[in-house]
Structure 1
Amino acid sequence: MQAGATLGRDAPRLEQRCTKVQPFYPCTLSQPHLPSPCGCPAVLQEFCARGSLLQAIDSGVLKLPNGAPNLPAILTAAQEIAGACLYLHRHDIVHGDLTPGNVLLATSSRDARRWVCKVGDFGLAQIIHPDATEIYSSCFGTLTHAAPELVVEGMLTKAADVFSFGVILLEMYSSKRVWRGYSFMQILSAISEGKLPFVIPADCPEALASLLHRCLHTDPMQRPTFDVVLAEVQAMLRGVPRAMGAGAPPQPTSVSVRGPSSPAGPQPAPKHESPFAQAAVTRAGSGPLITMSEPHA
């Protein structure tokens, strides 16, 4: 069982079951009708009782009572996810399957949200040699959040995680899944043709819209690193008005990124035309399903 994958409402039942597990199983026993203790290694991780970020998005947890995006909560979650990914990238680990479903929520009494994000599910994680910038993979994880170059070319880089983060950030802000209503083949076709249904809402703050624009760029070289992403998210978090959330906005926390250093610095927004401009995904014999709009510069 994957730690944290159980819904929050199942936590008491799971804890009750765990107390009944036989604490000792003699490894020397051997009988055809007794389960063999095969000695396989197991990974035990922190139990995250609040479910996943996907559930939070679907249930409207990231909205204010008036329906507006809860910017402090969204940016705090973005800070936590970006900090975790930066730590991985500093150790030359690419997650490879970053989605809201793989971001678990752990209970926290010290946070105004009563939960904190924990990036999990490293089944497709890869180590990139420090001297390399990319590896090639036959697996692209969850299609809805996979970078175009990973889906089309099998090219996995740290920038692929940044793209996935951009999709998550857009879904947190809009409180909806960007590919809702699309079949697997429609999604695959749209990604292959570079027609992505990413609309940055008109009410999105300029700094956040700019970050989304760069993270979701179809050219991986134009995406910021997580050093830049984290710095920009923290700057936005410091500037969030108190009226945007309940009480004072949460303050950016220090993020441990011990490990090999990577170059960091501001990366300007791309000068050429946005990859989202005037694109549409269509069904055979029908009009456009979603038409793109030019995001903020």
Structure 2
Amino acid sequence: ETWLLLEYCDMGSLMDAINKTWFRSCSKGPANMRMVLVTAHEMTAGLSFLHSQGLVHGDLSSGNVLLASSPDSPHGFSVKISDFGLSRNMDIQSRIETKTTGTVNYMPPEVLSDGIVSKAADVYAFGVLVWEIVCGVRAWEGLTPPQVMLAVACQHKQLAFPNWVPTEIAKLCHECMEADPQQRPTFKELERRLGNHLGKLQATDSMDLKNFRALSCP
């Protein structure tokens, strides 16, 4: 008999946090970019480690990123990557073809059209995740799965960021969502770049993120 001892993530999923507007002071206000960057940076650290072990997640989504209370974290929680039911070992092959895929809203063109999974597919899904955190809504909201497939795989459409998002952050995420998987950055590079952006932001922003969710609109 086998037992699994798993950590309890008491703050739910990233999807829950987005729906509860934890990343903004009010439902229609802009996201707190420092909080967004801290969360995104934690995700890249976990995914960078996963890829360094030769593994591809294969189903990265806001429902599969869990949050656990962490008093040492600047925003009150730590990020945990979960649900490895579709993960694959890529030690030998740089990409594989599969008929079993993840959530359509997070799939890149090569997965939607050809079922080709690689580390770059996880990077694409990460770009979509950051877009959702920033915008506070589900990617491709209002479109059916076939419509999403048409927009991404055939028309190569990208999700657009609001004008208030810093240009360098929007650019980084658009690189993650490039139609050509060879043009997407690695998680190791993303971890470094996000760390640099976060360092610059922290140097000019002393806001206490632990109190951020207690703020209200005037």
Same-fold call, TM cutoff 0.5? yes
Which residue matches 2:51? Answer: 89
What is the DSSP-based 3-state SS (H/G/I as helix, E as strand, rest coil) of the residue aligned with 1:77? Answer: helix
Which residue matches 1:126? Answer: 88
Distance across 2 between alignment mates of 1:169 and 1:192: 20
Distance across 2 between alignment mates of 1:188 and 1:78: 25
Distance across 1 between alignment mates of 2:103 and 2:196: 30
Distance across 1 between alignment mates of 2:193 and 2:204: 21
Q: Is the 8 A contact 2:140 2:148 kept in 1?
A: yes
Q: Which of the pair has more CA radius of gyration?
A: 1
| 1:161 and 2:155 aligned | no
1:89-136 C-alpha deviation (Å, 9 max, x unpaired): 101000001111100000111123221110000000000124x21111
Higher share in helix: 2
- Alignment match of 2:39 (pick from 67, 77, 83): 77
Comparing 109-118 with 90-99, greater Cα deviation is found at 109-118
What is the DSSP-based 3-state SS (H/G/I as helix, E as strand, rest coil) of the residue aligned with 2:83? Answer: coil
Equivalenced residues, count:
209
Q: What amino acid is aligned across from residue 51 of structure 2 in structure 1?
A: H
Instruction: Indicate how the Cα distance of structure 1 residues 75 and 48 shifts in structure 2: closer, same or farther if over 3 A, else same.
Output: same
1:43 is displaced (CA, Å) by: 3.0
Distance across 2 between alignment mates of 1:61 and 1:206: 23
Give runs of aligned pairs for residues 6-155 of structure 1, distance below 5 A.
Answer: 39=1, 41-64=2-25, 67-130=29-92, 132-155=93-116
Distance across 2 between alignment mates of 1:42 and 1:137: 30
Gaps of 5+ in 1: 1-38, 250-297
What is the DSSP-based 3-state SS (H/G/I as helix, E as strand, rest coil) of the residue aligned with 1:113? Answer: coil
Which residue matches 2:215? Answer: none
Q: Is the 8 A contact 1:136 1:155 kept in 2?
A: yes
Distance across 2 between alignment mates of 1:133 and 1:51: 33
Which residue matches 1:230? Answer: 191
Distance across 2 between alignment mates of 1:218 and 1:245: 37
- Alignment match of 1:203 (pick from 164, 184, 203): 164
Q: Is the 8 A contact 1:73 1:113 kept in 2?
A: yes
Q: Is the 8 A contact 1:242 1:248 kept in 2?
A: no
Instruction: Indicate how the Cα distance of structure 1 residues 100 and 242 shifts in structure 2: closer, same or farther if over 3 A, else same.
Output: same
Distance across 1 between alignment mates of 2:174 and 2:3: 40
Distance across 1 between alignment mates of 2:29 and 2:147: 30
1:190 is displaced (CA, Å) by: 2.2
Q: What amino acid is aligned across from residue 221 of structure 1 in structure 2?
A: Q
1:242 is displaced (CA, Å) by: 6.4
Q: Is the 8 A contact 1:194 1:218 kept in 2?
A: no
Instruction: Indicate how the Cα distance of structure 1 residues 63 and 165 shifts in structure 2: closer, same or farther if over 3 A, else same.
Output: same
1:236 is displaced (CA, Å) by: 0.6
Which residue matches 1:192? Answer: 153
Distance across 1 between alignment mates of 2:15 and 2:109: 21
Q: Is the 8 A contact 1:148 1:194 kept in 2?
A: no
Q: Is the 8 A contact 1:178 1:197 kept in 2?
A: no
